[in-house]
Structure 1
Amino acid sequence: MADGSNTPMNRRNILKTAGVAGIASIAGCLGGDDEDNGGPFYPHTIWGMYGSWEEAYVQGGEYYAEDHGFDFENNNSRGEEEEQISHIQNFAQQDADGILVGPVSETAPANQVEQAVSQDIPVIAANSDIDTPDLTMSVYIGNEPACEELGEEIVTYLESDGEAEGTVVNLQGDLGMAIGTEREQGFRNAVDEHDEIEILEISADFNREPAQEGLYSVLQSVDGEVDAIFAANGEMAAGAAGALDTYGMEPGEVFMACMDGSPTVVDLFDSEWLQRAFTQPTQYYLPIAMHYLEVARTEGEDALPDVGDEIDTDDLEITGEEHMGVDIWEGQDWAPATVQEQHDHPWFQTSGRLLTPDNYDESSNWGVIFGQDD
């Protein structure tokens, strides 16, 4: 593995000028001033930029890298598997000290991860997983169990005399992406065993407009007879609120739950359109991953947590400077974490939080922190 003291500037110059196939795809970077900090080079490829969640996720990485002298840059795969594959190949060619991957899918980048690791470049996945035992580690909450908990909240709402029944609209994310399939599976785990619950599916690909248009059409077709809505992210929940409002319904008339804790979700709680949400420790994913890339680089992979370990703030504390006028690291909402085995590699499973009308506006929630200037 390359010494991180001098190489990032060389890599950066190559990245800007080389004609290597696929380099052009990196032009879609988000955020940061692309300044070389002179430290170890930890580039990141993200599945796509869809809204405030991804922006806060990337900002967390940018801030942590800035605070700790790491050379970080974000590259947008735009939901394209081949583009993400190209990113990882390019990172390895530039001799990155470690690679961060927010996977487009669980399987597509596996070969490139294996090749990078064979070159002694550790690779950590964030927000979801990659199906290869060679992955150094993954860091995420687990979309499936989180959405199963949301589905159970919907089931509880629909229960009468011990039996759940009613009509639920399922606003699906992009099922071609790992996070889309995981969230769908979690919701299905909770509701599929209840024969009296009718599921109406709308494919909205995590976007607000198709969610709003699709739900409005459904409301027209069923004369408004909808009891609950599950949305795989906050943008689709906002679209659902728009459709309900346009149709003439009042906030709270339909029970709605979504996977997200964004500023949009905070607004939906404020206006009482939303009753449940599940928030992730969004700004911590990339810092945790970078911390462990640095551990692997400086101490070796034997120093990484083992499967079965429980990690708390006594073991790891993500720290840094103030950003946006506040200490964004104050909450340490990722803790406690457990290290499990997934696809024969360690999975650093963080904590998360079910949001209700009683706790959604707490100052440690990332949607409150990153929505303060909205």
Structure 2
Amino acid sequence: MSTHIPNLDVCIGETNQKYTKDLLRLARHKLTMRSTDRRSFIKVVGGTTIAGALAGCMGNEGGNGNGNGNGNGNGNGNGNASGNGNGNGNGNGDGNASGNGNGNGNGNGNASGNGNGNDTDNQTSNESGSGSGESRQIGISQHQAGGSWITAFFDSGTIYAESQGYQLETFIHEADAATQISQVRQMINQEYDGIVLVPYNESLNDVIVEAEEAGIPVFTANQDATTEAVKSFTAFGNENAGQICGEQMYEALTNQKPDVDTYRVLNVRGDFISSSNARTDGFLSVMESQDDVEIVNTIQTDWTQSDAQSKVQTWLNGNDTPHGVYSSNMTSGLGTFQALEDQGLAVPKGEDDHIVVTQLDGGPDVNPKILDGYIDAAVDQPVTFYIPLAIKQMEAYWENGDDAIPEIDSELTEDDYSFEPTEHQNGTLWSEPTWAPAQVVEKDGHPYVQTSGITLTEDNADEPYLWGNIWG
């Protein structure tokens, strides 16, 4: 996922690895370093090394001494490089740095770098980038790795970023907020162009503000932060998804068991975090509006399959069989199904003993159970669009600033953000705009791009555009 200049490490030397990124940015006219960074950089690396690396390592990227560097062309390192150990170094580099189009860029000019002494830098430049002349770096931090949902989340983002010529670096903190804060600070210090964040909790708010103050836009996806410093948040509507599961539950109960006076429903929820609360509240709002439905119990799990299986099985051993069961995420749903199966209660619909099952999330192990009639319905997330949508908004922000951020109380459609269908593993990414339409609402002082969800039934659970079938 990273892109490096060939032989750059050799040009700079192994002892100067921490300056590699700065030299890369200088060479590409990508970012202007802070003056303190430039002083340290020149002191350690030396003017000769800088000029030699720029001339010798940048085979296809040239820039002349006056600050004009046209992106895609043939670059010859024919400049004069002189580096003096001590003295005063003045670096006045006023000019326009453009990363546009095609052409020949020759590395001609005089490069002088004085290793020790006073460094005065008055470098001003206007940056623009189009085509392949500019490579931006985006970081994403997520609280866990592994599992099919997380894999789909990361991989689809990486595929889209690479298709646009960006570097997407992923950071995992394994449910440790302090580690995630450190990761974001690392991205700030290394001057990433943008951050897609899945914040672990509200303790990330301050470092998001730090990123904003450093001029680095932060877009959240899947989970949000409670600070207006977030440019926008992208995810489906958790409460609405819970409501749809409730509607699917009630419809299936009344159609399949019309002679029952009171439907007994078991609610299996996750931890008391915002997304879990919203999914539970949405489901319960539908159930509680029906006079013939009783929520017989709510079982709290940690959203893992093993915890749900153990707790649901314990409850089933000591209580009457429910008519319906709802689970608020994929893994707890699979654990619930396993508990039903262990008790001999997993029966496909159409049979008298069938227990109506609805849940949040499809997946490689969920979709086949829907097709076989064991799970009546699931509301799936358009997870393969989350990071790509965040990057689309980031691209617009790079071009036009805050004016390009989706407006609150507006609606986004597939015409606003389109994606090229891409073959991947067992299906086709982005062949159907399942995220659209999206309602843009206000949340914690910033826009929330609330995407649509996908209601899965036996009629569509085998579609090749579903993430659970692509990674299945």
Interval of TM-score (by shorter of Structure 1 and Structure 2): 0.7 to 0.9
Deviation of the 1:140 alpha carbon: 1.0
User: Contact 1:8 / 1:39 at 8 angstroms: preserved in 2?
Assistant: no
Deviation of the 1:258 alpha carbon: 0.9
How many residues get paired? 341
1:118 and 2:213 matched:
yes
Residue type at the aligned position of 2:279: R
Residue type at the aligned position of 2:196: L
2:407 matched to which residue of 1?
306
Q: d(CA) in 2 for partners of 1:226 and 1:8?
A: 63
Q: Which runs of 5+ in 2 are unaligned?
A: 9-17, 25-132
Q: d(CA) in 2 for partners of 1:254 and 1:165?
A: 14
Q: d(CA) in 1 for partners of 2:241 and 2:163?
A: 31
Deviation of the 1:102 alpha carbon: 1.5
2:265 matched to which residue of 1?
168
Q: What per-residue deviation string (whole Å, max 9, x for no partner) do you get for residues 200-259 of structure 1? A: 222322211111111111111014x21111111222222222111111122341111111
Q: What per-residue deviation string (whole Å, max 9, x for no partner) do you get for residues 3-30 of structure 1? A: xx999961799xxxxxxxxxxxxxxxxx
Q: d(CA) in 2 for partners of 1:222 and 1:113?
A: 48
**Cα gap change, 1:124/1:154 in structure 2, threshold over 3 Å: closer, same or farther?**
same
Q: d(CA) in 1 for partners of 2:146 and 2:311?
A: 19
**Cα gap change, 1:325/1:278 in structure 2, threshold over 3 Å: closer, same or farther?**
closer
1:348 and 2:444 matched:
no
1:51 and 2:147 matched:
yes
Q: What per-residue deviation string (whole Å, max 9, x for no partner) do you get for residues 108-166 of structure 1? A: 32222122112211111111322112210111111121112212322344458899833
Instruction: Work out which structure has the larger RCO, using CA pairs closer than 8 Å and 6 or more positions apart in sequence.
Output: 1
User: Contact 1:11 / 1:95 at 8 angstroms: preserved in 2?
Assistant: no
Q: How does 1:212-251 map to 2 (within 5 A)?
A: 212-223=309-320, 225-249=321-345, 250-251=347-348
Residue type at the aligned position of 1:139: T
Q: How does 1:125-164 map to 2 (within 5 A)?
A: 125-158=220-253
Residue type at the aligned position of 1:246: D
Q: How does 1:81-96 map to 2 (within 5 A)?
A: 81-96=177-192
User: Contact 1:77 / 1:104 at 8 angstroms: preserved in 2?
Assistant: no
Q: How does 1:208-287 map to 2 (within 5 A)?
A: 208-223=305-320, 225-249=321-345, 250-252=347-349, 253-287=354-388
Q: How does 1:31-42 map to 2 (within 5 A)?
A: 39-42=135-138
What is the TM-score with the length of structure 1 in the denominator? 0.82
Q: d(CA) in 1 for partners of 2:250 and 2:178?
A: 39
Q: d(CA) in 2 for partners of 1:79 and 1:145?
A: 27
Deviation of the 1:327 alpha carbon: 3.4
Residue type at the aligned position of 1:216: Q
Give the stretch that moved more between structures: 63-72 or 202-211.
202-211
Q: Which runs of 5+ in 1 are unaligned?
A: 14-36
User: Contact 1:158 / 1:165 at 8 angstroms: preserved in 2?
Assistant: no
1:23 matched to which residue of 2?
none
User: CA RMSD of the aligned region, Å?
Assistant: 2.9
**Cα gap change, 1:266/1:305 in structure 2, threshold over 3 Å: closer, same or farther?**
same
What is the TM-score with the length of structure 2 in the denominator? 0.66
User: Contact 2:427 / 2:469 at 8 angstroms: preserved in 1?
Assistant: no
Aligned partner of residue 148 in structure 1, secondary structure: helix
**Cα gap change, 1:12/1:244 in structure 2, threshold over 3 Å: closer, same or farther?**
farther
User: Contact 1:308 / 1:340 at 8 angstroms: preserved in 2?
Assistant: yes
1:60 matched to which residue of 2?
156
Q: Which has the higher strand share?
A: 2
Calculate percent identity across the aligned residue pairs: 28
